[in-house]
Homo-oligomer: A and B are copies of this chain.
Amino acid sequence: MGRPFVHQLRVRYAECDPQNVVFNAHYLAYFDAALTEMWRAAFSGGYRGMVEQGLDMVVAEATCRYRTPATFDDLLDVAIGITSLGTTSMHSVLAVTRGDEPVVDGEMRHVFIDLNRRQKAPIPDWLRAALEPWVLPSGASPRPPASSRRA
């Protein structure tokens, strides 16, 4: 049974706005950075290697729910869990936390594309197998339940 992949990052000054919090758009860039690290953990060559083989992925849909603002110099955990791997698309849930605090919850849908033919491509078996450790059981959250975090 899979569990979320977690990437830790530090909020940069340039990512904070005059409200002194991370500007909302940057979380999508954090999601992308975490996904790149998941790809690196998944197989040799990582995202760059996949693209060199002619396979790429594009974001088809993304949602962010902002819970608590993060601010300059915060250390954030970005957790990603895969909720489904369809024929050509991947659904994932994301949770950005600062220690125990929820910062942003998100969902993304990516579509795989064949770079030569510029059209949708089926997820190859080797990639499906490589992502297996982070495919969540149905209904699971990328964040541990509050009760377990308090334990």
Contacts and interface: CB of A to CB of B under 8 A. Distances in A.
Interface of A: 10, 12-14, 16-20, 23-29, 32-33, 36, 46-48, 56, 58-66, 69, 72-73
Number of copies: 4
B32 A47 contact: no
Given A14-B17, A59-B64, 5 more contacts: A13-B17, A13-B32, A14-B29, A17-B17, A63-B63
Given A13-B32, A17-B16, A32-B14, A24 B59 contact: yes
A48 B73 CA distance: 8
A10, A58, A61, A62 pick with most chain B CB within 10 angstroms: A62
A115 to B, nearest CB: 9
